[in-house]
Amino acid sequence: MDNIYIDTHTHLYDEAFDSEADASVERAILAGVRKMVFPDIDSTTREKMFSLSRRHPGKVFPCLGIHPTSITASFRDELDRIEDFRSCNEDRIYAVGEVGMDLYWSREFEKEQEEALRIQLEWASSWNLPVIIHSRDATGPLLRILKDCGNLSLRGVFHAFSGSEETFRELSRLGEWYIGIGGVLTFKNSNLGETLKKIPLDKMILETDSPYLTPVPFRGKRNESSYIPYIAQKLAEVKGCSLEEIAKTTTSNAEKLFGI
């Protein structure tokens, strides 16, 4: 039996795919990636995302949220657009995300990023949905916020995990959290593999973050969901187990987390 995978973080609706979006979904399915989770960015790409998901029911699973780099002084307008979208559409959503904090490019809207995140975490709790967390140069603030929100009984994934074993342990004390493993694991200069040796496989899910973070041997080209098996193969080498075990466990983890 062929291995079955889930890409838990892919933006196949991105302009990088243009007219190839549907073909990229089909390529993923042929590669064994039977399900794909689409994290939201903001209102500028939302309709494209849901349009693509509607064309591939049971294969594509959309989410709602504001990416931290889309947060500006007028972030409340973006939050209102999410609530308007939910009230006007019958589409089911599978997570709140991707949300979080990104202090790599700028700290100009750090306060606004935190405020927007706290509101969206409350949504996740009230809607009984998992959270897709984006974290870049923001581990400390994010852990603090999640501790503050302990009463919300949150669950979710730290997308594109690049932290330490200690960060994972701290996260594990805050609820049912998984880590998203993507193309960075395959990079020659990455130390992620050493960290993952110390983290249980039953807390990992696979992702591409297409069109970004393309795995070896396609690095330098546009990423897409069909490349998940290359990430899975590298993870099998790191964990010293079979590719079949990686596929079975990460797929089961994703199905459990997102209810898909």
How far apart, in whole angstroms, are the C-alpha atoms of residue 5 and residue 185? 17
Asked if residue 52 lies in contact with residue 225, where contact means CB atoms within 8 angstroms, the answer is: no
pLDDT of residue 10: 98
pTM for the full predicted model? 0.97
The confidence score (pLDDT) of residue 1 equals 66
Residue entry with tokens 């546009």: 222
pLDDT digits (tens, 9 = 90+) for 194-205: 999 999 999 999
pLDDT at 199: 97
Confidence label for 130 from pLDDT (cuts 50, 70 and 90): very high
Tens digits of residue pLDDT in 143-183: 999 999 999 999 999 999 999 999 999 999 999 999 999 99
Residue 248 confidence (pLDDT): 98
Residue owning tokens 């006007």: 88
Give the residue carrying structure tokens 């967390």: 133
- Whether the CA torsion 161, 181, 114, 168 is positive or negative: it is negative
Does CATH place domain 5-258 in 3.90.226.10?
A: no
Helix (H, G, I), strand (E, B) or coil at 110: helix
At residue 131, the 3 state secondary structure works out as: strand
pLDDT average, residue stretch 129-144: 97
Q: Mean pLDDT across the stretch 105-121?
A: 97
